[in-house]
Every structure is written in structure tokens, then in C-alpha cells.
Amino acid sequence: MKHTFHHIHGCMRHCAMALLLAAWAAAHSPLSAQSIDRPDPGTGDSGGATPSLLTLSLDYPRLEVAENRAYIPLFFTVNGFPTGSQDVRVRAQFVGGTATPGKDFDLGDGLRLVPMEGGLNSLNWITVPLIQDDSNEGDETALFDLFIEGSTAAPARMEVLIKDDMELGEVGFVSSRFSANEGATNGQVMVRMWRTLNTRNAATITYRLEGSEAAVATLGGQATRTAVFQPGASQVFVPIPLVNDQEVQGTRDITLVIESSSDGMKPMKGFEKTVLTLADDETKPEGAPLTIWEGSSDGGERGVVLTTMVPRGYQVLLEYSDSGVEGPWTLDWVLAGADVEQTVFNRFDASVMRMFRIGPPQPLEMSYPW
Ligand SMILES: [Ca+2]
Ligand SMILES: [Ca+2]
Ligand SMILES: [Ca+2]
């Protein structure tokens, strides 16, 4: 039965991770086209008169995409109610702009089949593979008309700006805040940056650490640091060793600010700085109430729902015992701190006694948002 719990939790954990990845992709979308799977080619016929009842809307009427991405995603949504079993055929046509089909992109048949069952009213896209070259053509524009085959509705026009990847891009932190605990078991904090457009050259980024002297001392005391992008790399992860002292210092914020790049890249608006919340392993977080009530999962399973607030830089351990408060206690779930309420669901079986308790704060390597 415990296995069942862990399967539930494993699923929740994976789902949570999938959501995090989705959130990251959304935050960097639509530039991060590589994170999007190609649509299934599928089959279907164009028969049926029902497409006339459907409408098409654009999710991103204007899109910027770098030439070194795999493809342009032409995002759209087909709106309406399913009225048959045939696929909806959505097609894109190139209708103008400075870009040249066959030289800058390969439209192909520009077709996307949307299943009538399950495919309506949600985000879809037509993939238009990009053609990367070694010359700097500057920014180019491409206008596409998207329409539903068999529909008399006016096509929806999408404007795409293709940015040449030989142009200088921008550099920013991956997230605008992240956290760590001074006593983290891996003894380091990870600084993450990414850059856009030209990734062909190496680049050294200089950034400064703003915070109290004691806080900066926890990161080794250097107020100015560097991160190096290798040729071809669009991301860089820089570990900074943590100095774990014995003093009770409470939670401290350090702001990391990008100052310059050796190749002249400009800081990315909104990501030019990031706040690191540094929790202290000598300071226990303030207690937060743990709410427990009976409920049921989406699948109708009865169980207990636990909700609590977890401070940034800490985590809450949920443990259970099958043999009363004497234990042994088994770790059941770890909630990472993000200053928001955290909720978990666990199946409840009256034949086995289980109890939960909040463990002491443990060092955290990272938490979401990073
Ligand atoms: Ca080019
Ligand atoms: Ca310490
Ligand atoms: Ca300390």
C-alpha cells in the first residue's frame, strides 16, 4: 500500500516538474521553439461541411524568432464545438515580407491537422522550419495567413520577425529570483544565465552582488563575479561555493546584477537582475500551521489533504508511521519553500495508522521559482 502512496506522490512530483518545465518554456516562449514537440503528422480527410462552424484565432499575432531556432511555430487555436470525426485542416500561406521562402524558411505544405475530438479550443501550431546560414542578413519579416480549409472566414494574419543569429543578442538570468540554504548539502548555489541570438562566440559576463557584507561573505565575499558562455552554448550554470558559518543570521537577500558582457551583449529587460534568498541553517523558519482535512483525489480516492506554508530556502518534510508515534518514521514527501502555500494529497486507509509531522528545516539546494 505504501507503494501506492509513493506512486501517487511520484506522479505528483513528475507532474509538478512537468509544470515547472512548461512554466519555464512559457516564460521563454515563443523563442524557445526547441522545447516544443513536432505535431503528429496524422491523417484525415478534408470532407465534411462542418469546418464552416469553426473559427480560428491567433495566440501570438506577432512573433519574434531567432534564425538559429529549429522552426517558427505559427500558434493558433481552432474555436468551436466538435461536430464530426474528421480532422480540421489548418493551413498557412506565405503572403509577404522581406524573408524568402526556400532561403530563410521552408514552409512545406504548411498544414496542421487538428483532431476534431480533443483538438479544439487549445493551443496548436504549424511548424515552419528555419534555414540557418552563415551570413548576417539583418532582421527579416514574414507574413503568414492561417485559415481553416473549407471555411469561408477571413484568414488570420501572423507577422513574424526573423532575427539573424549573427546579430548580438541579450543576456539575462534564467529566473528573477531563486533561493538556497547556507547549509545546503551540496555546498553551493547555482547561478543560471542564458543568451539570445549569437551563440557562436565565447562571452564573459560580469555581474555584481548587492547585499550586506555578511550575506556576500556567504558566497565567498567577492562582490564582482564572472560567468563564461562557451562557443555554441546558449546557457551557462555557474556554481558558487557557499561559506557555511556558525552564526544565527536569519534570511538574507542578495541581488545579482549583470554589468557587462565581453562581446557587448546588452542585459535582457526584466532578467538583468535576480534576487537570491539565502536562508540560514542556524535560523529555524517561523512555524506555519499545517492544515489537514479529508478529501478526495481527482480519481475519487478518499484521502487526506495537507496544506502548509513553506518559507523560501527551506523545506518541510512529511513523514508517516505505521506503528504510532514511536515510529519508525518514513519520509513521505518533501515540500520546497517558495513562500506560497503547498498542498499534497495522500490516500488514507483506516486499517493502517499513519501520522505526519513537520520535520526540522533541512538545507535546500534550490526551490521553485529558481
Ligand atoms: Ca543569417
Ligand atoms: Ca551555518
Ligand atoms: Ca549562519
> Which residues are CB-contacts of 40 (< 8 A; sequence separation ≥ 6)?
none
User: What are 26-55's pLDDT values in tens digits?
Assistant: 333 333 333 333 333 334 444 444 566 899
Distance from Cα 187 to the centre of ligand 2, integer Å: 11
Alpha-carbon distance of 40 to 277, in angstroms, equals: 43
Residue 353 lies in a domain: no
Same domain, 337 and 318: yes
Q: Among all ligands shown, which has an atom nearest to the Cα of 283? A: 3
Q: Are residues 240 and 323 in the same domain?
A: no
* Residue 285 CA to ligand 3 centre (angstroms): 13
- Assess whether 176 and 273 both reside in one domain: yes
Q: Which ligand is nearest to the CA of 214?
A: 3
* Smallest-distance ligand from the CA of 281: 2
pLDDT in single tens digits along all 370 residues of the chain = 333 333 333 333 333 333 333 333 333 333 333 333 333 333 444 444 456 689 999 999 999 999 999 999 999 999 999 888 899 999 999 999 999 999 999 999 999 999 998 899 999 999 999 999 999 999 999 999 999 998 888 999 999 999 999 999 999 999 888 888 888 878 889 999 999 999 999 999 999 999 999 999 999 999 999 999 999 999 999 999 999 999 999 999 999 999 999 999 999 999 999 999 998 988 877 777 778 888 777 778 887 788 888 888 887 777 777 777 777 878 877 777 777 788 887 766 545 566 667 766 665 655 544 4
Query: Do 324 and 275 share a structural domain?
Result: no
Q: Are residues 158 and 193 in the same domain?
A: no
Q: Are residues 272 and 290 in the same domain?
A: no
Ligand nearest to the CA of 197: 1
Total domains, the chain: 3
Q: Are residues 172 and 232 in the same domain?
A: yes
- C-alpha 310 to ligand 3 mean position (Å): 19
Q: Are residues 149 and 202 in the same domain?
A: no
C-beta contacts of 367-370 below 8 A and 24+ residues apart:
367/178, 367/179, 367/312, 367/313, 367/315, 367/336, 367/337, 367/338, 368/20, 368/336, 368/338, 369/175, 369/176, 369/177, 369/178, 369/338, 370/174, 370/175, 370/178, 370/192
Q: What is the pLDDT of residue 153?
A: 86
State how beta strands 266-267 and 170-173 pair: parallel
Assess if residue 56 is contained within a domain. Answer: yes
Domain finish residue from 112, 146, 163: 163
Can you give the CATH number for the domain in which 186 is found?
Answer: 2.60.40.2030
Q: Which ligand is nearest to the Cα of residue 248, counting in written order?
A: 3
In this prediction, residue 88 carries a pLDDT of 95
Domain boundary among 139, 163, 187: 163
C-alpha pair distances (Å), 146 with each of 80, 86, 157, 261, 297: 17, 19, 6, 40, 41
Same domain, 190 and 137: no
With CA atoms as reference, report the closest residue to 5 among 356, 368, 370: 356
Distance CA 353, CA 319 (A): 12
- The answer to whether position 18 is within a domain reads no
Q: Which one of the ligands is nearest to 135 CA?
A: 1
- Write down the pTM of the prediction: 0.68
Reading across the β-sheet that carries 111-114, which strands appear in turn? 62-66, 156-163, 140-148, 88-96, 111-114
Report how far ligand 1's centroid is from the alpha carbon of 131 (Å). Answer: 8
Residue 26 lies in a domain: no
Residues 135 and 80 in one domain: yes
| Structural domain range at position 296 | 285-347
Distance of CA 282 from the midpoint of ligand 2 (Å) = 5
Residue 313 burial (CB count, 10 A): 30
Residue 184 lies in a domain: yes
Q: Distance from the CA of 196 to the center of ligand 1, in angstroms?
A: 14
Q: Ligand 3 center to residue 343 CA distance, Å?
A: 29
Q: Say what the pLDDT of residue 4 is.
A: 31
Distance 189 CA to ligand 2 centre (A): 14
Could you tell me if 158 and 176 lie in one domain? no
Of 247, 279, 311, the last residue of a domain is 279
In a domain, 266, yes or no: yes
Instruction: Measure 251 CA to ligand 3 centroid, in angstroms.
Output: 9
Q: Is residue 21 part of a domain?
A: no
* Three-point CA angle 75, 80, 83, nearest 5°: 120
Same domain (yes/no): 198, 302: no
How far apart CA 270 and CA 153 sit, in angstroms, is 39
**155 inside domain:** yes
